[in-house]
Amino acid sequence: MPVNAFGRSDDLGSLTYRLLSALGDPTVETDPVASRVTGTLSGGCGVTVSSTLTHLRGPDGSAQRAGLGRWLDRPILAGPGLAEARAAVADLHLSVAFVVEDEASATDVDEVVALAAEVAGWIDGFVLAVPLDLVLGPDGEVWAEPTDAAADDVDGGHGQPSAPSPAPPSAGVPPSAGVPPSAGVPPTAGPTGEPVTGPTEGASAVGPGSAGPAGGVGPAGGAPGRASGIDPGSTGSVGAGDHGGGSPGAGADEPEDPLVAEARRILAEGGVPEGGVVVGELLDGADAPEVGPEPDPPTAAEVRRRAIVTAAVAARALAELDGQHLAEARAGLLDWVEATGAAEALEPWEARLLAAPPGGIAERDLTNGAWRTEGAAVLAWALGAYELPGPDALAPPGDVYRAIGLADPALTDAALDLASPRDPAELERCRQRLLTIHWRLREHALRPGPLDLAAAVAQAAWGPLTLDGVPVVDGDLALGGVALADAPEDLVARARSIAVERHRAINWLHDGGSFEDTDVST
Q: For the segment 445-502, what is each residue's pLDDT rounded down to a tens digit?
A: 888 999 999 999 999 888 899 999 999 999 999 999 999 999 999 999 999 999 999 9
Write 473-482 long-range contacts (CB < 8 A, 24+).
474/450, 475/450, 475/451, 476/440, 476/450, 476/451, 476/452, 477/391, 477/437, 477/440, 477/441, 477/444, 477/453, 479/391, 479/392, 480/392
Confidence band of 230 (pLDDT split at 50, 70, 90): very low
Sorted by sequence, the CB contacts under 8 Å of residue 463 that are 6+ apart come out as 432, 435, 436, 439
Per the domain annotation, does 148 fall within a domain? yes
Specify whether 169 is located in the same domain as 275: yes
Determine the pLDDT at residue 123.
93
157: left (phi over 0), alpha (psi -120 to 50) or beta: left
Specify whether 434 is located in the same domain as 411: no
Confidence band of 326 (pLDDT split at 50, 70, 90): confident
pTM over 0.75: no
More confident residue, 2 or 66: 66
Boundary residue ending a domain (254, 283, 312): 283
Determine the pLDDT at residue 131.
63
DSSP class per residue in 216-243: G---BSHHHHTT-----------S----
Specify whether 92 is located in the same domain as 151: yes
Boundary residue ending a domain (417, 436, 455): 417
Specify whether 324 is located in the same domain as 379: yes
H/E segment holding residue 107: helix 106-122
Boundary residue ending a domain (417, 443, 477): 417
Per the domain annotation, does 133 fall within a domain? yes
Express each pLDDT in 28-57 by its tens digit: 888 888 889 999 998 888 999 999 998 888
Cα 187 to Cα 236: distance, rounded to the nearest angstrom: 20
Specify whether 398 is located in the same domain as 476: no
- In contact, 244 and 168? CB cutoff 8 Å: yes
Per the domain annotation, does 289 fall within a domain? no
Specify whether 276 is located in the same domain as 134: yes
H/E segment holding residue 50: strand 46-52
Per the domain annotation, does 288 fall within a domain? no
Specify whether 112 is located in the same domain as 198: yes
Specify whether 252 is located in the same domain as 387: no
Specify whether 278 is located in the same domain as 410: no
Sorted by sequence, the CB contacts under 8 Å of residue 83 that are 6+ apart come out as none
Nearest to 495 by CA among 204, 108, 199: 199
Per the domain annotation, does 294 fall within a domain? no
Determine the pLDDT at residue 106.
82
- In contact, 35 and 16? CB cutoff 8 Å: yes
- 520 forms bridges with which residues in the sheet? none
Q: Which domain holds residue 494?
A: 425-511
Confidence band of 506 (pLDDT split at 50, 70, 90): very high
Query: Kind of pairing, strands 34-40 and 77-78?
Result: unpaired
Sorted by sequence, the CB contacts under 8 Å of residue 99 that are 6+ apart come out as 2, 47, 48, 49, 50, 271, 272
Per the domain annotation, does 343 fall within a domain? yes
Determine the pLDDT at residue 75.
86
Specify whether 243 is located in the same domain as 122: yes
Per the domain annotation, does 517 fall within a domain? no
Average pLDDT over every residue of 348-367: 90
Express each pLDDT in 425-451 by its tens digit: 999 999 999 999 999 999 998 889 999
Counting the structural domains of the chain, the total is 3
- In contact, 257 and 218? CB cutoff 8 Å: no
Average pLDDT over every residue of 259-288: 41
Backbone φ, ψ for residue 304 (5° rounding): -60, -45
| Percent of the chain's residues with pLDDT above 70 | 71
